[in-house]
Amino acid sequence: MKKILLSTIAMATLVSASSTATTVKSKVPLLKFSGTHYLGFVHDSETDTNEFETRRNYFQIKGYFDEESKDYMRITFDTHHEASGDWKVRLKYAYLYLDDILPFTGVEMGQVHRPWIDYEEHHGWAYRSISKVFVEAHEGAHFTNSADLGVNFKTKTEYLSSELGIFNGEGYHGIEDGNGLSGEWRVTGHLFGTGKAHVHTHDTYLDLSFLGQYNTDYKVKGTDFVWYGLHAVYNQPEFLLSAQYITATDGGATKEGDGYSINGEYRIVEDWNLIGRYDFFELDAGEERQRTLAGASYKYNKNVEFIANYLNEEVDSVTQTDAVMLTAQVKW
C-alpha cells in the first residue's frame, strides 16, 4: 500500500529515483494506491496441458476525505481472461464508505463487498491465488461471489462483528434484471476478543460465524434462493484450523444441497507453511463434488509469497482436474 499525502490545495510533487518530478492532483488530501497479482503455472495431467497464467490483477485506489478520518471512496479494477482468449478489465469494487454512521458500524454503498468472502479470506483461507473459498468456487458449492451492487452495514466490537446487507443478488458479473433483491449476512463471535483487530498469522483467535443469503426472484421470477451455514476457525502462531458446513434449501436442482469444507496451515519454520484443504458438496439431485488440495508456501518478503500445490477435483468420482500448480502471490 502506497500513501500519497497532498497539500491543502490537493497538490503534491512526487520525486522518482531518477529525480524526475511528477505532479499529482486530487480533490482529497489523502490517496492510497495498491495492487494484488496472482501469477502462476499449471500442469494438468488429466487434460495433458501446461499453461502459464495471470489469474488476477487488481489495481485499487482509495480517496480519503480527511487525513484523520476513515471515510473514503474506493475503486478496484480486475483483469479477467475470457475463454475466447480476450482479456477484459472488470469493475470489482466502486463504493463510498462512511465510518461510524451507527454505533461501532460503518456502511459501504455502491458496488460493495458481500458479507462472507472477504472475512474468510482474512481469517480462515489466505490462498485465493490457488483457490476461491468454498461458497464461491465453481467446483465447490458455487453459491455466491465477492461483490455486488447494494449496501453493506459493517459492525465491529471486540467480541462480536457482523455484516448485514441488501444487494441486487446476481453478483458483480451477473445479469441484473431488477426483479428481486438479496438479503445477506455474516454474524461472528470472536471468543478471544479480536473482533476489532486486523488479525495476522502470529495472533491467536477463535471465531464462530453464522452466514447466509435469502435471494428473492433469483434469475427466474418467482424462484427464491436460500442458503446458510456455520464456520469455525482457530489460529495460533504455529497452525490454523478451519471448518464449515453449508446448505441450500431453495434454488432448484443446480443449487439445492449441502456440504462441508475443512482446511489448515502448519507453520513448520519461519516463512514456510504446509497447507491443505478438502471440500465436499452434494446436490439433492445427486451430483457429488470433491476437491483435495495440498501444498507448501514460502514467504519471500512482505510483498511476495510463492506457493506450490497439488489439486484434484472430482464430480461423481470422475476426475476433472489432476494438477500441479506453481504460484507467485504479489501485493504492493
For residue range 298-313, what is the model confidence (pLDDT) as tens digits?
Answer: 999 999 999 999 999 9
Contact predicate 330/303, CB 8 Å: yes
Domains in the chain, ordered, with CATH?
33-331 (2.40.160.10)
Q: What is the mean pLDDT of residues 185-192?
A: 98
Q: According to the model, what pLDDT value does residue 67 have?
A: 87
User: Which residues, in sequence order, are CB contacts of 255 under 8 Å at separation 6+?
Assistant: 143, 225, 227, 248, 283
User: Which of helix, strand or coil describes residue 125?
Assistant: coil
Question: Could you identify the residue written with the cell 436442482?
Answer: 253
Distances (CA, A) of 297 to 79, 88, 300, 332: 24, 29, 9, 18
Q: According to the model, what pLDDT value does residue 177 have?
A: 78
Contact predicate 195/161, CB 8 Å: yes
For residue range 209-221, what is the model confidence (pLDDT) as tens digits?
Answer: 999 999 998 887 7
Question: Could you identify the residue written with the cell 434449501?
Answer: 249
For residue range 39-60, what is the model confidence (pLDDT) as tens digits?
Answer: 999 999 999 999 999 999 999 9
pTM confidence score? 0.91
pLDDT category of residue 9 using cuts at 50, 70 and 90: very low
| pLDDT of 78 strictly over 50 | yes
Three cell numbers, residue 327? 504460484
Three cell numbers, residue 266? 502448519
Three cell numbers, residue 148? 455486488
Contact predicate 128/148, CB 8 Å: no
Three cell numbers, residue 19? 529525480
The mean pLDDT value of the chain amounts to 92
